[in-house]
Homo-oligomer: A and B are copies of this chain.
Amino acid sequence: MDKAKVLFQPDGKRSEGQPGESILHLAQRMGLDLNSLCGGLGVCKKCLIVIKEGGSILSPLTDTEARFFSEGEVSEGYRLACRTSILRTGDIVVEIPFESRTGQMKLLASGIEAKVSLNPAVRKALVQLRKPTLKNIEADAENLLATIKEKYGIRFGSLSYEVLKRLPAALREGNWNVSITIRQDEEVIAVEPNDTTARLFGFAVDVGTTKLAGYLVDLSKGKVVASASMINPQVPYGDDILSRITYTNSNPDGLNKLASTVREGIMKLIGDCCAEAGVEKEEVYDVVAVGNTAMHHILFGIDPEYVALAPHPAAIRSSLNVKAREIGLRISEGAYAYSLPLVAGFVGSDAVADGMATEIHMSEEVAMMIDIGTNTEIVLGSKYGLGACSCASGPAFEGARIKNGMRAATGAIESIWIEPDLRIRYKTIDSAAPRGICGSAMVDALAEFLVNGLIDNTGKIRVEKGHPQVRRTDNLSEVVIAEKGETVGGEEITVTQADIREIQLAKAAIYTGASILMKNMRILPEELKRIFIAGAFGNYVNPENARIIGMYPDIALSKVRFVGNSAGSGARMALLSYDIRRMAEIVANKISYVELAADPSFNKEFIKAMYLPHEEEKRFKNVMKLLRNAT
């Protein structure tokens, strides 16, 4: 019982640490994503953490740290995890900032988050009612509404039907003392006997085409208490948006099947998080869901068929408030599921959430937010105006349509580089024997091949260079990354010419979207002061390599920021603050949608963007300089 309780944010994971144990050790013991190259020697200075609470029960600042951190950083609580150990029992809250993430936790469940003041859409109040007598018989509902108006000054119209059904029993069980949950100061959505006001939880979920990420949040404290993620269980029905939509309209009951599949997935996340944090599902009173328009429509049981057909109108653009049980979420019976507003048929509430998390709508300078996924959304602009577009980048970055492609999991080759002796080297996740290649390594492969002249600027493998790992058989060129003897399957792992084309298509889609959006908004490249790259993939890719292959406009790397799952962050913000929901409604309305297909230059731009980094070399001055220096 002399252990200290440690809560890691923003993951919401908790553990107990022995006195003497370092935070790095504890984090590694829990499998958390915290960088450490030197293995805890205090040398690499990668294991940055921020102590949010409990600094006094931790070992004092070391000389190493004092030299490394600025005064401001020290006062913010910055430490090196390997140099920080637990002294005695107590409560500690540790934040692992984004710069300390290695990407080991491949389904990234966290992201940057703008600061919001705690003002959730739901709140609780303890209410003492008058007991009715023969002389003063008052119906239960009127008794409750009159009491909260008279005694507590809360004015609103209605009790939800679920509350009405539970009210008589709750009043008697609590001896006329009940806790009510009020939503948006309008509706009583829950009633419980006695004082349960300290137990108020909400759940935010990012419904991606490929993954679901969920966060259980204590709404009375504003803290994430647990998080979980999983592959979107709809994946077997199609690995991109269009194939999912096709499934819904080419199979009997297809929409219901996909809807219930993702709803069950979300329930699984809720169940896992509740179990981890010791919370009952009935104590979850609010849900915020974000996702692209197709995922949104399917989740809410709305036919997405027309989203796939030009001009791709959504069924609804504004935010949605639907009883959670209507979409199969069995939490507090009267709880609602809220969706942030959408922008258009292919720019969903996830992009709006990205915008809220990166605060691009409040930025003085022009910024671009690229949320890379099977569908990539781009939001561009500043407080003076915002535009958005959607790029069908496809699932290649997730390993699909790549010969030896796989998702980021144990044994996936996650980075590739070429040594000075031109030998191609790789690193796998968990340092396991290689099983395949994941998206971040494909980006590395193209960049390294280009820099080292193994491919030309059209992406064509230069067999003529005679590199020992490059070969051509049956008219098929490929680069051998791992030999037969090294791999789990006993087969070579290669990057084929076709694989390179897939990555070119994906990166060209993203770059074309960015450049057409800039053109439409009359924003010049030099005006672009910041690029946020979001999405699980976005956090692990080597930013330099991504720039070399021309995935995003060629700006200084210092202006590129990886923000992780910022859609999930935006969802959490909307859970914590009703003001964010109101703001999101305004912002979503302000974002003008640019339909790429309607732009006459789209095809020409797309073809030019297939080049590495681009056919118009002047657009990539930094990269071209680098390439010229290399060759």
A310 contact from B134, B316, B342, B597, Cβ within 8 A: B134
Q: Chain A interface (Cβ within 8 Å of chain B)?
A: 132-135, 137-143, 159, 161, 164-165, 167-169, 172, 300-303, 305-306, 310-318, 320, 322, 326, 342, 344-345, 593, 595, 597-598
Q: Are B303 and A142 in contact (CB under 8 A)?
A: no
- 13 A-B residue pairings within 8 Å (CB atoms): A133-B311, A134-B595, A134-B597, A135-B598, A137-B312, A137-B593, A140-B315, A141-B317, A142-B316, A142-B318, A164-B315, A167-B315, A169-B305
Shortest Cβ distance from residue A174 to the other chain B in the assembled complex, whole angstroms? 14
Shortest Cβ distance from residue A314 to the other chain B in the assembled complex, whole angstroms? 4
Q: Are A140 and B314 in contact (CB under 8 A)?
A: yes
Shortest Cβ distance from residue A53 to the other chain B in the assembled complex, whole angstroms? 42
Q: Are A315 and B598 in contact (CB under 8 A)?
A: no
Q: Are A315 and B139 in contact (CB under 8 A)?
A: yes
- Scoring A137, A300, A320, A345 by chain B CB atoms within 10 A of each residue's CB, the highest score goes to A137
Closest chain B residue to A303, Cβ basis: B168
What are the nearest 3 A-B pairs in CB distance? A139-B317, A141-B316, A139-B314
A168 and B306 contact, Cβ closer than 8 Å, known pairs A143-B313, A318-B142, A322-B161: yes
Closest chain B residue to A313, Cβ basis: B132
Number of this chain's copies in the assembly equals: 2
Bound form: Cα–Cα A310–B133 in Å: 8
Chain B residue numbers with a CB within 8 Å of A344 are 137, 139
Chain B residue numbers with a CB within 8 Å of A172 are 306
Shortest Cβ distance from residue A190 to the other chain B in the assembled complex, whole angstroms? 16
Bound form: Cα–Cα A142–B588 in Å: 13
Q: Are B345 and A137 in contact (CB under 8 A)?
A: yes
Closest chain B residue to A342, Cβ basis: B139
A303 and B169 contact, Cβ closer than 8 Å, known pairs A134-B597, A137-B593, A164-B316: yes
Chain B residue numbers with a CB within 8 Å of A141 are 315-318
Known: A142-B316, A164-B300. 19 other contacts (CB 8 A): A132-B311, A134-B310, A134-B311, A134-B595, A137-B344, A139-B313, A139-B314, A139-B316, A140-B314, A140-B316, A141-B316, A161-B300, A161-B322, A164-B315, A164-B316, A165-B302, A167-B315, A168-B302, A168-B303
Q: Are B593 and A165 in contact (CB under 8 A)?
A: no
Closest chain B residue to A297, Cβ basis: B168
A313 and B137 contact, Cβ closer than 8 Å, known pairs A142-B318, A172-B306, A306-B172: yes
Chain B residue numbers with a CB within 8 Å of A167 are 315
